Structure 1
């Protein structure tokens, strides 16, 4: 056992020694009672060469399709988590499924003492965190690579495969949504366009810029400003240009990434040339609270060309730990998929909703290793 733990430590010290998340490692959850959920899942599976056995059709009641798009913890297990895991086990997929992608028409918010996202409860594999962990963001993800303060310790980017080899049965379950078609979200056509356009950017090592937009005096921006210089330097070492500025890039600028903090986005923020595979996001209170009419929603970025975005489903109180760290772009530029990059950059992923193409990989590298199975008799932590 000592030899095993030593090997795990040595293995995790080598960044991306395994290939990034692959199509065979992603399960797509489908609401079988929603034609557009089925259609988008089928389109995405064909687009990304995801095996048909990885499409998990679930029988959700009509009550979970109402405009509020919310679910109780017990119903999450009854209608989503338990039946999905049963099908994965039945099909012999448990040894290599590392992440989930939700198609359209799934609830996004879990109602509890402290509400959190359906992705948060997916991440904990249906196990309830404490109310304090949710409210104050004190839950720390096993996948977070730091730093948690200026000058703090940080670790290199990894693939989910590497994490899984180390964590074994302790491995959390990351997920994203392929789109959100409810109130203030996307049309089916917009969601499909986002995924199709994103696929075009894979492995191109895009020449575009990453922009960190500072809005001094706005707590939505100030809470992450300390992260920008370090991320900019790390990106420079990876050959990726990044700029810290108070101004949005010009409309004809080639943008592969944008991070800011602002409640309402001006037209200048959205009307630009996002390159395929771009990630764009603004830290605000209600970015994924689609029932609340206030503030610009995360889906606005997707509808203007970004491959992915994020927002919280409930008021997060400008807590940076609940949002992606600026280092997500360094993970992305190291060859990780968007899903892998995001989860290595979020310390407390309980209230966040991640939307877009989980397999987007503009800096994708040739695969070096394929995960065949996980031996669930050993346990470790990265």
Structure 2
């Protein structure tokens, strides 16, 4: 566990493992709505940007009236359309803004793990363990018979294409970056994950990364942000910060995965601010840390060289209500900087 590495450490470079991702563009099935021209445009852009084979593009027919939440029957129709055209792909990238849920489940968890209708009887009950939680697997379909799913939401075509470009650019250089872990005054949303925050000032010199654990409500004018974990219903000053390609950020709150008509900030707001991956729940989960990304586990797998989708999915123990959004193949830590010899 990364917690053991972090304990009492300043530079944790020598304790980190290296497990570069095995996922390739041919492992991704890109799914779009044939009734939505914007969905198809962005999906085809993703194929070109990531050099995904043309045969991995899958068009599906969704209800013609816009729906945020699918019924079980509508989801089964979607699932059957996808599975009829799949090969041995490891990842499903769904390209649209809505639908994003199936009853009380997120669309991404329903596609990956199947529907968990027991959770819908009482959404605040504990969830069901994911077999992929903190897994050492580098081939999810072969090892667990699951395909990791992520939604690439379209708030605008330009924003979606910029998100794709950030994911692609994340692999080209290892930039100096910062991770921020905020202990806010919103105790219900902040405290569940605080035990998983690193000691302030921890460094990962081999990855050119510095970690900051701060008692404050928001970041303002922060530079080179790679990680940003907080707990609040709304996050202020996001647009004043600069985010590196491949950045991950999320805010523990009840409805961050509700991308339309919610009084709380949706996860898509992070993407529009320049982040590459985020997460939120689509129904009231109550504040179990297990229903949200564990920062230690996200970082441990990401810094090892795994992709954004692998690292994020491995960090959530009970993901039924959680929606993963972003560009799945980003992997900014596939490279390492040379370590200086001890003086």
1:172/1:136 Cα in 2 relative to 1: closer, same or farther (>3 Å)?
A: farther
For 1:312 and 1:231, how far apart are their aligned partners in 2?
28
What does the per-residue CA deviation read over 1:257-301, in whole Å, with 9 as the maximum and x for residues that have no partner? 10000011112x441111111111111111122333312111111
Q: Which residue of 2 aligns with 1:290?
A: 259
Paired residues of 1:101 and 1:178 also in contact (CA < 8 A): yes
Offset of residue 131 of structure 1: 4.0
Q: What TM-score does the superposition give when structure 1 sets the normalisation length?
A: 0.77
Look up the match of 2:176: 207
Separation of aligned partners in 2, 1:37 and 1:164: 26
Match of 1:121, SS state, is helix
Deviation per CA, 1:112-147: give whole Å up to 9, x if none.
xxx1111121122457555468542331111111xx
Contact map agreement 1:15 1:158 (CA 8 A) in 2: no
Contact 2:119–2:125 (Cα < 8 Å) also in 1: no
Aligned-residue offset at 1:194: 1.5
Instruction: State the Cα distance separating 1:238 from its structure 2 match.
Output: 6.2
Alignment-derived partner of residue 128 in structure 2: 139
- The equivalent residue for 1:86 is 84
Shift in Å at residue 325 of structure 1?
A: 0.6
Which of the numbers 95, 101, 107 marks the counterpart of 1:103?
Answer: 95
In structure 2, the residue matched to 1:30 is 32
Following TM superposition, by how much is the alpha carbon of 1:69 offset from its aligned partner in structure 2, in angstroms? Answer: 1.5
Task: Give the corresponding residue for 2:4.
Answer: none
How big is each residue's C-alpha offset from its partner over 1:325-382, in whole Å with a ceiling of 9 and x where there is no partner?
Answer: 112022111101100000110001111111110111101259xxxxxxxxxxxxxxxx
The structure 2 residue matched to 1:353, chosen from 323, 329, 338, is 323
> Aligned to 1:20, which of 7, 17, 22?
22
Partner of 2:227: 257
What number of residue pairs does the alignment pair up? 319
Match in the other structure for 2:151: 177
Aligned-partner SS, 1:229: coil
Give the match for residue 221 of structure 1.
190
Structure 2: distance between partners of 1:296 and 1:217: 15
CA distance in 1, matches of 2:34, 2:335: 35
* SS of equivalent to 2:290: helix
**Mapped partners of 2:205, 2:122: distance in 1:** 35
For the 8 Å contact 1:286–1:292, the answer to whether it is kept is: no
Q: Hey, what does 1:150 align to over in structure 2?
A: none
Matched, 1:53 2:30: no
- TM superposition shift of 1:172: 2.4
Q: Secondary structure at the match of 2:41?
A: helix
Residue number in structure 2 paired with 1:311: 280
Taking a change above 3 Å as real, the CA distance of residues 231 and 51 of structure 1, as seen in their structure-2 partners, is farther
Partners in 2 of 1:234 and 1:324 — Cα distance?
21
Specify the alignment match of 2:6 in structure 1. Answer: none
Distance change >3 Å, CA 125–CA 276, structure 1 → 2: same
Offset, 1:219: 1.0
What RMSD in Å do the two structures reach over aligned CA positions? Answer: 2.6
The separation in 1 between residues aligned to 2:116 and 2:194, in whole angstroms, is 33
Structure 1 equivalent of residue 8 of structure 2: none
More displaced 10-residue stretch of structure 1: 286-295 or 120-129: 120-129
Query: What is the TM-score with the length of structure 2 in the denominator?
Result: 0.85
Tell me, what secondary structure is at the counterpart of 1:303?
helix
Q: Please, which runs of 5 or more residues in structure 1 have no aligned partner? A: 1-13, 146-156, 367-382
User: Offset at 1:256?
Assistant: 0.9
Identify if the C-alpha distance between structure 1 residues 135 and 235 changes in structure 2 by more than 3 Å, giving closer, same or farther: farther
Q: Is residue 20–residue 159 contact of structure 1 (8 Å, CA) maintained in 2?
A: no
Matching residue of 1:69: 68
- The answer as to 2:162 corresponding to 1:160 is no
Residue ranges of structure 2 left out of the alignment (5+ in a row): 1-15, 337-343
Partner of 2:45: 43
Whether the 8 Å CA contact 2:180–2:229 is kept in 1: the answer is yes
Contact 1:203 1:361 in 2 (8 A): no
Rounded to whole Å, the distance in 2 between the matches of 1:196 and 1:298 is 19
Checking the alignment, whether the CA contact within 8 Å between 2:124 and 2:285 is kept in structure 1 is: yes
Shift of 1:18: 6.4
2:274 aligns to what SS in structure 1?
Answer: coil
Per the alignment, in what secondary structure is the counterpart of residue 273 of structure 2?
Answer: coil
Are the counterparts in 1 of residues 20 and 306 from structure 2 also a CA contact under 8 Å? no
Change (3 A) 1:274 1:239: closer
Deviation of 1:237 after TM superposition, in Å, equals 8.2
